[in-house]
Amino acid sequence: MATTVRKTAAKVKSSPYDVAEHLRTPEEMAAYLDAWLEEAPDDAAGIARALGDIARAKGMSQVAKDAGLSRESLYRALSENGNPSFATVLKVAKALGVRLHAQTA
């Protein structure tokens, strides 16, 4: 008696990677932003997105409140196509509990 083995393709379900799900501590959040500032200092949109990732990790509503902004304007400013003012960046950084710092190039 022969045994028949059927192979079926396993369905692989994937979801987009969301860095915000992995930023759990203030130290991880600061290190993530610092990495962006170090590796891509000229990528203003990327740095804004990094701030957005950290804000989502902390809770966008609370960060918006702490920064004195509406939740919608915070999402817009820190989105892929956002272009936040430097004042907004400073408000968000303060609300996130992180500091930007300078060093010689």
Structure tokens at 89: 């960046």
**Does the model's pTM come out above 0.95?**
no
Tally of CA atoms within 13 A in the half-sphere of 13 that contains its CB:
0
Cβ atoms of residues 90 and 64 within 8 Å: no
Write down the domain spans for the chain. Answer: 45-93
Q: What is the pLDDT along the chain (105 residues), one digit of tens a residue?
A: 566 666 666 788 888 888 999 999 999 999 999 999 999 989 999 999 999 999 999 999 999 999 999 999 999 999 888 899 999 999 999 999 998 888 887
Cα→Cα distances 5→12, 93, 98, Å: 21, 59, 58
Nearest to 97 by CA among 50, 63, 47: 63
Chain-centroid distance, C-alpha 46 = 9
